[in-house]
């Protein structure tokens, strides 16, 4: 019935009572449903009223709790059947270790517990409301967002920025494999911000310099702060001016092709193609010497935002070459011979420069600076190969990194960063010196990043190092879920002793790339999109 809202500080309680007769030697079941109906959302600025996705089906008046409860009671058995049909093939696979099954499904807690919002786009909304005049080329933006809504989750419960893109790059495997339309929707939101700019000045904390909030043709760091107005004002990150980061643009291109490869959504690919060209053109300015390989700028200009990089680097250079390769592949699919040739030429030069400047005979050096730590063994040095392998572009004409070099690098990482760290029981440390001592040149180089370890394990599985991949990932699971007691709040990072950072974090969702790698090996992954003889129909 009707009741008054409680006063601030007032405590209230409620009870539900049900009864039934239980026959001798029999049983009865009582079913109870509990539902919250909170249909409206104001972010911190209170500029806009947003409605949650479920209001499409249950209304936005705040009176839907009985209907929600009724729906749950009449459908939960069907939900349970569908959950079991989804999970049982993995749970009943005796070749997979129990800890992996637990980690794979339980890390998904963050999809809902990550400050997550899934919003409706109003039916009377027009394309200009979403993208402005600059984004008019995204022909399917409005239909996608109106059908599937806008989705956002925090980088972490302590790092309050929505859809932090350098980190989502890792976590996105969970979305594209389980809720692909939400990944497509999120990518459209990022694409809109790429083609727009925000010229408001802002001072950045690490360098003390002032720069505009968002530059055109550059991928944003995030789509905003829940304390402000997400989607409306992006780039809540205050540490660095991320217009000069080297990884964000590349991670957009890599996700576009990965998404197309797994979904075969040609309309999405066609919409994203001009955006990919724009961000890659913007990225080309970082190739200072025109050798086909970008250079880092002498500061922490990528997702390792406290780990300085000078010159060519294994991480950003590898991502760059993978993105160039995918530009060639997308141009081939779309019949764009001119762009394909342009990036093939860059790829040929870049591969030669990458090997010459970074390969040392066993692994790829951290960077080409020649500093005391440039020869550090980075656990994430094969990130580009990780994405190429996930898309079937790791062999034949599209082999970017020599297979023997990839295997040697992974074996070195396993020997030094995994087995040589904490007795092989805590995953892979981010940076290890060749003499077997963790790299302590930054606060991040001697951390373990759980999401990076899962992606490293996936790369090992892709390359046939299945046992090593599971051993590497198991160290993180045992540390987080058992030893540290951080179940359902997996942190971004921990060190060998006493230190952890940023509980409940996005990146560990990358564990789903391990599942994709396993399915590819078993021949269960989606077949690659068939290439047409000519350009795709619009």
Task: Classify residue 495 by burial, with Cβ atoms within 10 Å: 0-12, 13-18, 19+.
Answer: middle
The total of other beta-carbon atoms located within 10 Å of residue 143's CB is 12
Cα atoms in the 13 Å half-sphere on the side-chain side of 415: 13
pLDDT in tens, 508-520: 999 999 999 999 9
Average pLDDT value for the chain: 93
**Using 50, 70 and 90 to split pLDDT, how confident is the model at 122?**
confident
Q: For residue 525, what pLDDT is reported?
A: 60
Collapsed DSSP state (helix, strand, coil) of residue 458:
helix
**CA separation for the pair 318, 320 (Å, rounded):** 5
**Using 50, 70 and 90 to split pLDDT, how confident is the model at 464?**
very high
Per-residue b or e along 259-275, where b marks 16 or more CB atoms closer than 10 Å to that residue's CB = bbbbbebbebbbbbbeb
Q: For residue 205, what pLDDT is reported?
A: 67
- In this prediction, what percent of the chain has a pLDDT beyond 70? 95
- List Cβ neighbours of 120 (8 Å cut-off, separation of 6 or more): 50, 51, 52, 53, 55, 56, 149
Q: Which pairing describes strands 448-449 and 431-432: parallel, antiparallel, or unpaired?
A: unpaired
The total of other beta-carbon atoms located within 10 Å of residue 349's CB is 16
Q: For residue 538, what pLDDT is reported?
A: 35
pLDDT in tens, 246-290: 999 999 999 999 999 999 999 999 999 999 999 999 999 999 999
């Amino acid at each position: 019935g009707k009741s008054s809202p409680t006063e601030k500080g007032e405590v209230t309680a409620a009870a539900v009572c049900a009864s039934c007769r239980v026959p001798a030697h029999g049983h009865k079941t009582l079913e109870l449903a509990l539902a919250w109906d909170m249909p409206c959302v104001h972010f911190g600025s209170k500029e806009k009223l947003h409605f949650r996705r479920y209001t499409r089906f249950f209304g936005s008046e705040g009176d839907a709790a009985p209907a929600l409860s009724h729906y749950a009671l009449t459908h939960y058995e069907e939900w349970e059947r569908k959950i079991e049909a989804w999970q049982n093939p993995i749970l009943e696979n005796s070749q997979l270790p129990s800890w992996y099954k637990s980690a794979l499904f339980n890390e998904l807690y963050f999809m809902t517990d990550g400050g997550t919002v899934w919003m409706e786009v109003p039916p009377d909304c027009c394309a200009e409301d979403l993208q402005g005049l600059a984004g008019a080329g995204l022909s399917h933006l409005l239909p996608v967002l109106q059908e599937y809504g806008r989705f956002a989750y925090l980088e972490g419960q302590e790092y309050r920025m929505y859809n932090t893109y350098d980190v989502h790059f890792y976590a996105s495997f969970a979305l594209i494999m389980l809720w692909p339309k939400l990944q497509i929707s999120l990518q459209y939101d990022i694409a809109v911000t790429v083609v727009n700019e925000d010229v408001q000045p802002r001072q950045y904390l690490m360098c003390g310099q002032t720069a505009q909030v968002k530059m055109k043709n550059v991928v944003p760091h995030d789509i905003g702060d829940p304390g402000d107005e997400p989607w409306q004002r992006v780039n809540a990150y205050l540490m660095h001016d991320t217009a000069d980061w080297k990884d964000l643009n590349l991670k957009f291109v890599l996700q576009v092709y990965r998404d197309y490869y797994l979904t075969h959504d040609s309309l999405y690919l066609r919409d994203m193609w001009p955006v990919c060209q724009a961000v890659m053109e913007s990225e080309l300015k970082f190739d200072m010497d025109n050798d086909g390989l970008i250079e880092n700028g002498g500061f922490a200009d990528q997702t390792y935002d406290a780990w300085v990089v000078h010159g060519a680097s294994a991480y950003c250079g590898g991502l760059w070459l993978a993105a160039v390769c995918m530009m060639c592949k997308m141009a081939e699919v779309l019949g764009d011979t001119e762009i394909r040739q342009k990036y093939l030429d860059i790829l040929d030069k870049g591969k030669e420069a990458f090997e010459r400047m970074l390969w040392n005979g066993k692994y790829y050096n951290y960077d080409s600076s020649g500093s005391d730590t440039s020869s550090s063994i980075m656990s994430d040095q094969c990130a580009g190969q990780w994405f190429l392998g996930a898309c079937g572009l790791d062999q034949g004409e599209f082999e970017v990194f020599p297979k023997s070099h990839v295997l040697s690098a992974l074996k070195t990482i396993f020997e030094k960063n995994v087995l040589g760290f904490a007795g092989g029981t805590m995953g892979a440390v981010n940076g290890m010196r060749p003499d077997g001592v963790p790299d302590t040149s930054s606060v991040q180089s001697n951390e373990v990043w759980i999401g990076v370890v899962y992606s490293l394990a996936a790369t090992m599985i892709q390359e046939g190092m299945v046992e090593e991949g599971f051993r590497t990932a198991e160290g993180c699971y045992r540390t987080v879920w058992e030893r540290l007691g951080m179940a359902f709040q997996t942190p971004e990072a921990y060190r060998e002793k006493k230190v952890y950072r940023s509980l409940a974090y996005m990146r560990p969702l990358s564990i789903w790339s391990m599942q994709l790698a396993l399915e590819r090996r078993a021949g269960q992954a989606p077949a690659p999109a068939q290439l047409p003889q000519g350009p795709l129909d619009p």
